[in-house]
A = this chain, B = another copy of it.
Amino acid sequence: MNALTRDMYAKLASTLNDAAGDFGIRAVILASEGDHFCAGNDIGEFISNPPTQSDSEVAKFLEALLNFPKPLLAAVKGNAVGVGTTMLLHCDVIIASATAKFSMPFTSLGLVPEAGSSYLFPRLVGYQRAAQVFMTGESFGAVSAKEMGLVAHIEKDPIAAATAIAKQIAKQPPQAIINTKALLKSGSHDAVAAVMHVEFELFSMALQSEEAMDAFMKFKAKKE
């Protein structure tokens, strides 16, 4: 199900940072193996090894995402839960299969939105739609995600479709693409970085709350 562990965040961060510096790489596609894109943060790790702002693999991954200077695409099939959806808010072009299901059930776990999603999601879909999704924890499908403008296309083979668009973008003058992405981000970059810090603090406090402990216990009981 591709639940993310600390090691996986670290690998993602270093891969993105290497791609940013590698002159030969024009675009990156986030894709998955198996039936599901990403089940979110591993719940066991939330308890045994909670991330902190100043020194954690999660923070390094989010920083790499926020600052990635080249086109970032994503190919999503199956479930994209928690950070599996919030990482997409930093992507430029997202292709989904009809099976894609997006959810950010932070409040249901006693947690709060992360990865800048409390800033980026309402600005993408409007405050009211974002409030409803975050407050109820409800998921939404590929068609809704396309209507919202999160997903560019719904395709049977999202990796092939994302690769085709990545190739199209890779043919463009590379400095123009990098400068265009920087311009598009310039009006929100610092605000997103700031909100990520606040989210992180509230998230860390929430992880230690009784609310979250109860929710995690219920989650584990349901899975067993």
Contacts and interface: CB of A to CB of B under 8 A. Distances in A.
Interface of A: 71, 89, 91-94, 106-113, 118-120, 122-132, 134-137, 148-152, 165, 168-169, 172-177, 179-181, 183-184, 186-187, 191, 195, 198-199, 202, 206, 209, 211-212, 214-215
Contact of A183 (B89, B112, B126): B112
A215 B128 contact: no
Contacts of A151: 128
B172 A137 contact: yes
A71 B181 contact: no
Nearest to A104: B180
Contacts of A135: 71, 92-93, 169, 172, 177, 180-181
Given A126-B149, A173-B211, 11 more contacts: A91-B128, A93-B135, A106-B180, A107-B172, A107-B177, A112-B179, A136-B168, A174-B211, A176-B209, A179-B206, A187-B195
A165 B138 CA distance: 11
Nearest to A134: B180
Q: How many subunits of this chain does the assembly comprise?
A: 3
A128 B107 contact: no
A191 B172 CA distance: 28
B113 A180 contact: yes
A86 to B, nearest CB: 12
A134 B183 CA distance: 11
Contact of A212 (B106, B131, B173, B212): B173
A67 to B, nearest CB: 15
Nearest to A130: B184
B168 A183 contact: no
